[in-house]
A and B are shown apart, each in its own frame.
Chain A
Amino acid sequence: AQKVTQAQTEISVVEKEDVTLDCVYETRDTTYYLFWYKQPPSGELVFLIRRNSFDEQNEISGRYSWNFQKSTSSFNFTITASQVVDSAVYFCALRPWNSGNTPLVFGKGTRLSVIA
């Protein structure tokens, strides 16, 4: 069985603070993909990143960075110098590799509020 846990239901930070969103997953597959999505107030989920399980390099994209640790089954997401526009619900997701028809398994999401 596969499962994604986002233990933080809601986080509130003041603008310019750094914030880390946690994601822990469970899977019996040896290869898999991990994803992060952002859902702003408009409602549409926006893809942020996909990571392969055999590539444990951390990734940085502007103010966003992702820390993938296979040993602890975690794929955490950090926003540096947060801005009000970062306010959204963030979802972590998992899918087995090489199984193109398998749906994503989503966590329950973390609602981030950035206060000016």
Chain B
Amino acid sequence: DVKVTQSSRYLVKRTGEKVFLECVQDMDHENMFWYRQDPGLGLRLIYFSYDVKMKEKGDIPEGYSVSREKKERFSLILESASTNQTSMYLCASSPLENRDPQDTQYFGPGTRLTVL
């Protein structure tokens, strides 16, 4: 079974703090993704990575950065957390196309971040 884990289910931080959200997958997937999910807005892509040390901006990268030092781990960093970054954060991974019969993204359980 594919397993994508996220370091915390719930997190409370203060404005201005540096926040690290960690995501680990155990299926040797090349691609990893960070989304945020807000009511009425669905899932919005923040960043994604298709290889170690590679990263691509998604639709809403402002205020975020990422790090992928190892294939299995993809970290989302909020350099200086703000209240408008209160959200549910979802990590996902996927293999390169045609390496997997389902060829889809597998999601972690999510981290609900509250910034006070």
Interface residues of A (CB under 8 A from B): 9, 33, 35, 37, 42-47, 50, 91, 97-101, 103-104, 106-109
**B interface residues (Cβ-Cβ under 8 A, vs A):** 30-31, 33, 40-43, 45, 48, 50, 58, 88, 90, 92, 94-98, 102-110, 112
Chain A residues near B94 (CB, 8 Å)?
100
Q: Number of contacts between A and B (CB, 8 Å)?
A: 56
- Quick one: given A101-B96, A103-B45, A106-B42, are A50 and B104 in contact (CB under 8 Å)? yes
Contact of A43 with B104 in the complex, beta carbons under 8 Å: no
Main secondary structure of the interface of A (DSSP, over half): loop
> Of B43, B102, B108, which one neighbours A47 at CB under 8 angstroms?
B102
Evaluate contact between B33 and A107: CB separation under 8 angstroms: no
CB distance from A3 to the nearest CB of B (A): 12
**CB-based nearest A residue for B108:** A44
In contact, A103 and B48 (Cβ under 8 angstroms): yes
- Per DSSP, chain B at the interface is loop
A50 with B103: CB separation less than 8 A = yes
A103 touches B110 (CB 8 A): no
